[in-house]
Amino acid sequence: MTLTENIQQDDLGSIRLAYFLSTREIARNEPLSATGNPEIDGPINDAHRGNLPKVIPILEELTRETGMNVEVALIVCDDPTLMRDFSDFEIPLHQEPSTYPQAYRQAGMRKEEGETKGDFRARIAPVVARAKAEYEQRLLDVLEEHGIDLVISDRYMRLFGPTFLNEYIGLVLNSHPAILPEIPGAIPTSGALERARETGHDFTGITCHIVDHGEDTGPPVLQNENVPIYPNDSEATLRARNYQNEGGVLAEGIVQHLRNPDTQNLIRLRRECSQANGNREQVLDKMRTVRERMIEEHHDAFSAFRRNRESIKPGEYRYRFRRQEAQQPRRPLRQAATACR
């Protein structure tokens, strides 16, 4: 019997989802829009709350079709000074401000005279790593307290470290407003415009993907390339147009991922792990086995899709993970994790 056989949705009951956001992009890569054009400013500024306003009603509709009971349990936001307004949602809000950037700055103030940049960076790295591990452990404590099964990273603008992913890898989805693996990173709209100018590829879209240890390197669960790039587009106009589709893709990607038997088994094992005492390491080993196979299968399926995509015109495809597409020989996880770079 495999680890995914005889897994029934009835075993899971209500599935609790945590929504992670950050407000840092308001001051960095995604400035608030003030063009004076409501068709541009409205979608961009609304998007600074993330996709939650669109995800909730779509998720409710899609989950009725599947019979799953999915609830948003809390929002974790890492900057209380720029907190978005979620007063119109009856969702528990947990603010968890970031501390490790402050630790980095404090360490930087202790730079000694004559120390090279390389020496300085090497000396403070353990300080930053320790602060990040402590921060992520606090996040894990919050998720444990609320019984979270699945994490959604939406405008979170932060790479998850090993402390967090060792517990939740395979159960974290990210919404990326561009096509992966071609356009990763924090400025996907700019990347899409640059690619259009250089290659003539005049479409962009949305990718809902599993989060791994890299930056936008995890395999897609759902991907739509259906947003045209026009010759007179600016970053603001293209971003506003693309944001219109993001909530639907993310919501459908969540449901698609939850219908995967491997995901359901990971959730069951995650709950078992939180209740385990002496056999916690044994349960974690089972989780590693399931998630490594799951990520490999997703990478294999996406690679197979991309090989067959040459006959599909840009803007006309919609990728969705299907288990039967994964027919390639399995690769070690360390190779699979970089396959979509």
User: Which residues are bridge partners to 93 per DSSP?
Assistant: 75
Active-site annotation holder among 48, 94, 146, 176: 176
- The answer to whether the beta carbons of residues 157 and 25 sit under 8 Å apart is yes
Residue with the two structure tokens 């202790």:
110
Question: Which amino acid belongs to residue 28?
Answer: R
Instruction: Give CA–CA dist 310/307, Å, rounded.
Output: 7
Instruction: Give CA–CA dist 216/205, Å, rounded.
Output: 15
Residues near 71 by Cβ (< 8 Å), separated by ≥ 6?
14, 15, 16, 17
Kindly state the tokens that stand for 123.
Answer: 């000396």
- The answer to whether the beta carbons of residues 192 and 313 sit under 8 Å apart is no
Residues near 196 by Cβ (< 8 Å), separated by ≥ 6?
202, 204, 229
CA distances to 20, 82, 223 from 252, rounded to whole Å, are 18, 29, 10
Q: Provide φ and ψ at 220, rounded to 5°.
A: -70, 145
Tell which residue, 195, 123, 135, 181, has the closest CA to residue 159. Answer: 135
Catalytic residue at 176?
A: yes
Instruction: Give CA–CA dist 208/157, Å, rounded.
Output: 15
Residue with the two structure tokens 């390389």:
118
Instruction: Give CA–CA dist 263/294, Å, rounded.
Output: 8
Instruction: Give CA–CA dist 56/72, Å, rounded.
Output: 8
Q: Which residues are catalytic?
A: 176
